Amino acid sequence: MSTRLLEVLFERNASEDWHKAGTFKHHLLGVYRALALWNQPREIRMLGLFHSVYGNEYVNLTLFDREKERESLRDLIGSEAESWVSLFCAISRTRFVKNVLDGIGIGPEGMAMDNDKGDTFHLTPRQVAAFIIVTVADVGEQWHSWQDEIFSGYPYQQRRELAPHWVSSLWPGPLKPPANILHMLSRLVQALRSLPEDIGLPVPPAFEGGQKVIARKDEAAASALYWQVITRMHPLTESMTARHIVESVIDHNPYVGEPRLLLAQLALT
């Protein structure tokens, strides 16, 4: 990544906007880092780094004015990447994820979409793949128990009134690891394997390159067991029990690295 890209994020005050569990800049860099580790081409990494800068249906953290500054961003990251950023910000991300999970638009014809403003878009298979990959990196970087509550059932969540559910919206919550989102992400990565082979984008190595889907019950069990150890619900003075619990976490969910690091800490002690 060039220093100019970092300078732009600072100039646009991305480090001063709070976003979920850190600053907006930290989130954008985290998404970029995941895409770089997955060996994605430059245009996908640029899409990830600037994926929300025009604002979207979730947040209004606008760093560039879509009406006045598209050329500025185009000069910075390239024409194709900027056009993808603009499209990614314009579509309904929730509707896109729902389509993919429902098997809609993941064939050679691409995906037709409209948004709440009545705009109609057509995504090529390459764009569908790019948006799936960036969505997995984006959601995986930021999702924790707060989103589990306010977006319960995502992407099929129903609107809930604030008054009777205010306790669920209390931010940021306990920052517990998510218990029901990796199942969805594993299905999105798996969907990439149904797209045409000539799209030129590598499938991320997550979930064994999309060959495995983590069951909902395994994700929930792993999260609950991990939380028991990390919050010391079991006495850590007796490390054997803690070790067995963490090993069970890994058995339920072998796709997340942090429990292995925790197991390493127990081994070191």
DSSP string covering 109-177: T-EEEE-TTS-EEEE-HHHHHHHHHHHHHHHHHH--HHHHHHTTTTTS-----TGGGGGGG-SSTT-PP
Categorise residue 16: left if φ over 0, alpha if ψ from -120 to 50, beta otherwise.
Answer: alpha
Peptide bond just before 196 cis, omega within 30 deg: no
pLDDT at residue number 11: 83
Let me know if 84 is exposed, middle or buried by CB neighbors in 10 A (0-12, 13-18, 19+): buried
Residue with tokens 């025009």: 54
Checking if the pLDDT of 235 tops 80, the result is no
Strand-pairing partners, residue 121, are 113
Q: Which domains does the chain have, with CATH numbers?
A: 3-143+181-213 (1.10.3210), 215-269 (no CATH)
Lowest mean pLDDT segment, chosen from 89-103, 115-129, 187-201: 115-129
Distance CA 99, CA 185 (A): 14
Checking if the pLDDT of 181 tops 90, the result is yes
Checking if the pLDDT of 18 tops 80, the result is no
User: Greater confidence, 47 or 5?
Assistant: 47
pLDDT tens digits along 187-207:
999 999 999 988 999 999 999
Mean pLDDT in the chain?
90
**What percent of the chain is modeled with pLDDT above 70?**
100
Mean pLDDT in residue range 39-53 = 94
pLDDT at residue number 140: 94
Token representation of residue 117: 């403003």
The residue length of the chain stands at 269
Distance CA 246, CA 146 (A): 23
Checking if the pLDDT of 70 tops 80, the result is yes
Provide the total of helices (H) and of strands (E) in the chain, helices listed first.
13, 4
pLDDT at residue number 143: 92
pLDDT at residue number 102: 97
Mean pLDDT in residue range 17-34 = 86
| Alpha-carbon distances of 24 from 9, 21, 28, 29, 46, rounded to whole Å | 9, 9, 6, 9, 15
Token representation of residue 21: 């569990």
Checking if the pLDDT of 179 tops 90, the result is yes
Mean pLDDT in residue range 48-63 = 84
Lowest mean pLDDT segment, chosen from 49-63, 136-150, 191-205, 236-250: 49-63
Question: pTM of this prediction?
Answer: 0.93
